[in-house]
Structure 1
Amino acid sequence: MARAGIITFLHNNNYGSSLQAYALQRTLRELGCECLHLDYEPDRKEKIWNLLTSGNDLKLILDGIRKRSVWADQSGARRKSEAIPAFYRKRMQLSAPCRNRKDLRRESENCDLLVCGSDQIWNPVWLNPAYFLTFAGNEKNKIAYAASLGISRLPKSSKIRKIKRWTKNFRAISVREQEGMELLEQMTGLKADVMPDPVCLLTRDEWNGIAGDAPEGEPYLLCYFIGENADYWNRVRQLQAETGLRVLVMPVTAESYRSGYELLDGAGPEEFLGAVRDAACFCTDSFHGLVFGTIFGTRTDVCRRYREDDPESKNSRVDQFLRDMESSSLEEMRKQGREWLQRVLYKTHKA
């Protein structure tokens, strides 16, 4: 049995990130892999090193400080930040904590295969070589599953050179968006496959199997926004007037906490699933929110988080999923992703 080590975002306090990580680990286990996630949460020194070597903007650190200041003032946000690691302990296998490249190298030594993905781990805005598996030697089998670049325009040339260097020793690469596939080929000459996000690899019944109880009370309009935009709340008021539903907000931003609506605060990933599943209507700007709304058959109203002319727009992931749903079905996407993984696992095992 092959032993796989997976790396993705685990510590960004985000429901979608935690649930896609769970889905990929569960799928690989079902396909015959013994696997764990490398529990990567870089320390301050590692973050500074990465900022200096990857050419990322200092505003990323400032944005992180701003978000943490919002969460620090809210007891519900603190409960959520505790609930996500508790979900990992309950549902997944993680390595010992990894705070830097040395730790990652140590924890991956006994792995036959290293997998990076999914989520926006290859987004040039916050480039990090760890998510390209650079901590391991070239003798390791390396694959990327549905890695997202998250952008629709080429980054600056210095980042292109890094991405080209960091991807040249992969056995197989799949990305999550068509735009990402095209950009990666322009940057590196590599032809990647386009595969669905890991949350699509599990069925509705499988997600129901871990979903928590629905919020009590009258039917509700659920709101879950990652970004801040006054137009979101205009849309919420329109939907409330149209449906007459009680409004329930899962807060992330300072704007959400100030919305004046009833809050569903401090929920963990399982409670998030239950809330989306049983909502009468769901309004969100979240990519994974859209996908879970679709999986559960919940009426979902999507707000676009970025302007179309924003060079850092990440709307391509929403567009890709909506295109997929026009031409395919969730079951076909599930089959496509699992078959790709099965082929790659067979090839790397034979190599």
Structure 2
Amino acid sequence: MSEKKVGILTFHRASNYGAVLQAYALQQYLKKGNIYNEIIDYRCSHIEKVYSENFMVSGKSPISMVKKNIKKWVNIKKNKKFIEFRRNYLNISKNTYNLENKFDMKKVYDVFIVGSDQVWNLNQTGKDTTYFLDFVDKGKWSYAASLGKNSITNEEKEIFKDMINSFEKVSIREEENIDIIKSVGFKKQINVNVDPVFLLNKNEWVSLIEKEEKRKEKKEKYVLIYTVKQPVHLIEKAKKYAQEHNCKVIYLHSDFNYKEFFKNQNIKNVFVKSPIEFLKLILDAECVFTTSFHGTAFSILFEKEFWAEVDKDGKLNNRIFNLLQKLNIEDRILDYNPKTLDSKINWKVVRENVLKEREKSKKYLFDE
């Protein structure tokens, strides 16, 4: 594949830490293997609409208008940081594509890799079948593509059946999605690979941080909370851990939540951080408490003690659970009500498991 031009199709435009960092990681890993690649600047109308709504302001009362104006201001500032990251660190195609001109992409690239992230979650894309590479007949690969759920509707099965059987190589992120792919008649090998962020090692991520953030002596010890879903017992547990270890608490929110902000005035609430500042917050933390897949992933990569909350109203976050199961550290699941928050992770074992997964990915991506 080294002589071919590769186009990566993913959610690179989302103002989401995991989305841009997994895109960066896959691009860098292919580059290390001497494979020229670009992230295709595809604009999915459904995703564009979802993110544009973050900047709209409307409300029935003056108070709701104030709340929405604050949220809009936070989102604008945060979005600027993501635009800057994409400009500085992602090699994105000069041409922009959409539903109307997507067939032009096949004139530019020899191989297409779709993934990672929830590119095969039809709810996320508004049923945009571009993420099944329906505009091209050959050179169709996926890498760690996620469906974002463990079952699909009959309508979705029909879409999968029509689209996925023309793929030359299929790699998914979650083990339980194998049966779904098989159920639509896919006969080729189905590979299960780790999220692209694991393709780069700790030193490579630290090098990225140091391009913008000079390493300084930490002024204060802190526990980091990072949530993408409403936490259940996470904040309470984090505060308890911080008190016992004489740490302050920093709460990084994925979105501005008015209620959470005023409910947690005794801790430092943070809303506007760049992807690199996000990495540094995890790197310098004493311990991480999170409901996020990528919050969990980077805690592992930086070898930080962490706790993940994966169950919300009986709905399991399979992405986190599968990752911890794969690395043999399911005991970091906070929902299991650990007797102590001071138990330590055997990083030697975790490191070995991550290396095994990285080798599997290397074989998949570079062995034709």
Larger Rg: 2
User: Could you say which residue in structure 1 is the equivalent of 2:176?
Assistant: 179
Q: Distance in 2 between matches of 1:91 and 1:157?
A: 40
1:100-156 deviation line (CA, Å, top 9, x unaligned) = 22343324421000110001111243343121111x221x3010000011212x211
Give the letter for the 1:143 counterpart: W
Question: Are the counterparts in 1 of residues 227 and 253 from structure 2 also a CA contact under 8 Å?
Answer: yes
Q: 1:68 to 1:263 in 2, by over 3 A?
A: farther
Q: 1:298 to 1:26 in 2, by over 3 A?
A: same
User: Could you say which residue in structure 2 is the equivalent of 1:156?
Assistant: 153
Give the letter for the 1:113 counterpart: V
Correspondences of 1:7-26 after superposition (within 5 Å): 7-26=9-28
| Residue from 255, 279, 287 that aligns with 1:281 | 287
Greater CA drift, 244-253 or 279-288: 244-253
User: Could you say which residue in structure 2 is the equivalent of 1:269?
Assistant: 275
Shift of residue 196 of structure 1? Answer: 0.8
| Residue from 91, 111, 122 that aligns with 1:113 | 111
SS of alignment partner, residue 144 of structure 2:
strand
When the two structures are superposed, what TM-score results if normalisation uses the length of structure 1?
Answer: 0.84
Q: Distance in 1 between matches of 2:121 and 2:363?
A: 26
Greater CA drift, 122-131 or 17-26: 122-131
Shift of residue 64 of structure 1? Answer: 7.8
User: Could you say which residue in structure 2 is the equivalent of 1:52?
Assistant: none
Q: Distance in 2 between matches of 1:242 and 1:275?
A: 20
Contiguous gaps of at least 5 residues in structure 2: 58-66, 329-348
1:56-90 deviation line (CA, Å, top 9, x unaligned) = xxxxx5x9846976786244432221111211211
Greater CA drift, 119-128 or 99-108: 99-108
Greater relative contact order structure (CA < 8 Å, 6+ sep): 1
User: Could you say which residue in structure 2 is the equivalent of 1:141?
Assistant: 139
Give the letter for the 1:141 counterpart: G
User: Could you say which residue in structure 1 is the equivalent of 2:319?
Assistant: 317
SS of alignment partner, residue 101 of structure 1:
coil
User: Could you say which residue in structure 2 is the equivalent of 1:188?
Assistant: 185
Q: 1:272 to 1:213 in 2, by over 3 A?
A: farther
Q: Distance in 1 between matches of 2:81 and 2:102?
A: 24
Correspondences of 1:56-135 after superposition (within 5 Å): 65=53, 73-74=70-71, 75-96=73-94, 98=96, 100-126=98-124, 127-134=127-134
Contiguous gaps of at least 5 residues in structure 1: 49-60
Question: Are the counterparts in 2 of residues 29 and 35 from structure 1 also a CA contact under 8 Å?
Answer: yes
Q: 1:22 to 1:72 in 2, by over 3 A?
A: farther
1:174-207 deviation line (CA, Å, top 9, x unaligned) = 1011111222212333441101110110111111
User: Could you say which residue in structure 2 is the equivalent of 1:54?
Assistant: none
Question: Are the counterparts in 2 of residues 227 and 305 from structure 1 also a CA contact under 8 Å?
Answer: no
Question: Are the counterparts in 1 of residues 145 and 172 from structure 2 also a CA contact under 8 Å?
Answer: yes
User: Could you say which residue in structure 2 is the equivalent of 1:257?
Assistant: 261
Shift of residue 25 of structure 1? Answer: 0.7
Q: Distance in 1 between matches of 2:40 and 2:17?
A: 18
Q: Distance in 1 between matches of 2:15 and 2:176?
A: 27
Question: Are the counterparts in 2 of residues 22 and 91 from structure 1 also a CA contact under 8 Å?
Answer: yes
Q: 1:337 to 1:124 in 2, by over 3 A?
A: same
Shift of residue 229 of structure 1? Answer: 3.2
Q: Does 1:166 align with 2:168?
A: no
When the two structures are superposed, what TM-score results if normalisation uses the length of structure 2?
Answer: 0.80
Shift of residue 298 of structure 1? Answer: 0.8
Q: Distance in 2 between matches of 1:217 and 1:173?
A: 47
| Residue from 327, 334, 349 that aligns with 2:358 | 334
SS of alignment partner, residue 121 of structure 1:
coil
SS of alignment partner, residue 188 of structure 1:
coil
Quick one: percent identity of the two aligned structures?
A: 24
Greater CA drift, 245-254 or 122-131: 122-131
Q: Distance in 2 between matches of 1:317 and 1:25?
A: 22
User: Could you say which residue in structure 1 is the equivalent of 2:62?
Assistant: none
User: Could you say which residue in structure 2 is the equivalent of 1:239?
Assistant: 241
SS of alignment partner, residue 38 of structure 2:
strand
Question: Are the counterparts in 2 of residues 39 and 95 from structure 1 also a CA contact under 8 Å?
Answer: yes
1:272-295 deviation line (CA, Å, top 9, x unaligned) = 111101101111111011010011
Question: Are the counterparts in 2 of residues 225 and 256 from structure 1 also a CA contact under 8 Å?
Answer: no
